[in-house]
Amino acid sequence: MKTFIPKVDSHNRKWFLVDLKGAVLGRAAVEVANILRGKDKPIFTPHLDAGDNVIAINASQIVVTGQKASYKKYYRYTGYPGGLRATSYEKMIRNESPRVFMHAVKGMLPKNRLGRQMIKKLKVYAGDNHPHQAQKPEMKNLFPSK
C-alpha cells in the first residue's frame, strides 16, 4: 500500500467570513484555528498547511466567561531587565481588540514555521468593515445552534 499525500494548492484556498459578535473568545478561537489548519477537511495532514483563509469581524464585541474580564492579563517582554509588561483584558479589548483574538488563535496553532505560516491567513478587524470583498468570502457560522 502507498501512503496518500495530498497536493495542497494555495490558489484554491477558500475565504471564510466569521462574525465574532457575542462569541466566546476561546470557543471562537478553536473553530477558527481548525479552519486555518484544515482540520475540517478530509485531506488534513498535520505537516501540511491545507487550511483556508479567515476574515474575522467585530472583534471588539467578543466576550469572555466568568470573571476573566477583570483578572485576565496579557504579558509581553521589552527585552530589557525588569521589562515584563502586563496589560489587562479590559484595556486590550478597548484599545487593541483584534490582537486579543489573534493572540488566542495563535496559541492554538503549532509552535513552528508551519504555525507562523498559518496565522498569516487570519485577518481580524474590530468593526464590521473589511477590505476583502474581492475574495467573495463565504459566511461561516461558528455556532449553528445559535
Distant-in-sequence, close-in-space partners of 17: CB < 8 Å, separation ≥ 6: 55, 57, 130, 137, 138, 139, 140
Average pLDDT over residues 96-113: 97
Q: How confident is the model at residue 5 (pLDDT cuts 50, 70, 90)?
A: confident
* Structure confidence at residue 142 (pLDDT): 80
Residue pair 77/83 in contact (Cβ under 8 Å)? The answer is yes
What pLDDT, on the 0 to 100 scale, is given for residue 34? 97
What span, in angstroms and rounded, lies between the C-alpha atoms of 139 and 46? 26
Helix intervals (H) in the chain = 25-37, 68-71, 89-95, 97-106, 113-119
Does the pLDDT at position 68 exceed 60? Answer: yes
At 102, which amino acid appears? M
Task: Taking residues 49-56, report their average pLDDT.
Answer: 95
- Confidence at 99, pLDDT banded by 50, 70, 90: very high
Quick one: pLDDT band at residue 146, thresholds 50, 70, 90? low
pLDDT of residue 11: 78
C-beta separation of 33 from 103 below 8 A: no
Mean pLDDT throughout 125-145?
A: 90
C-alpha cell at 122: 487570519
pLDDT tier for residue 4 given thresholds of 50, 70 and 90: confident
* Listed residue (14, 37, 12) closest to 136, CA to CA: 14
- The pLDDT assigned to 145 comes to 65
Distances (CA, A) of 62 to 65, 87, 94, 112: 10, 17, 11, 27
Instruction: Give 88's DSSP letter.
Output: E
Q: Across residues 59-63, what is the average pLDDT?
A: 95
Q: Which domains does the chain have, with CATH numbers?
A: 13-64+96-139 (3.90.1180.10)
pLDDT at 63: 95
Q: Quick check: 93 and 60 in contact, CB under 8 A? A: yes
Mean pLDDT in residue range 62-90:
96
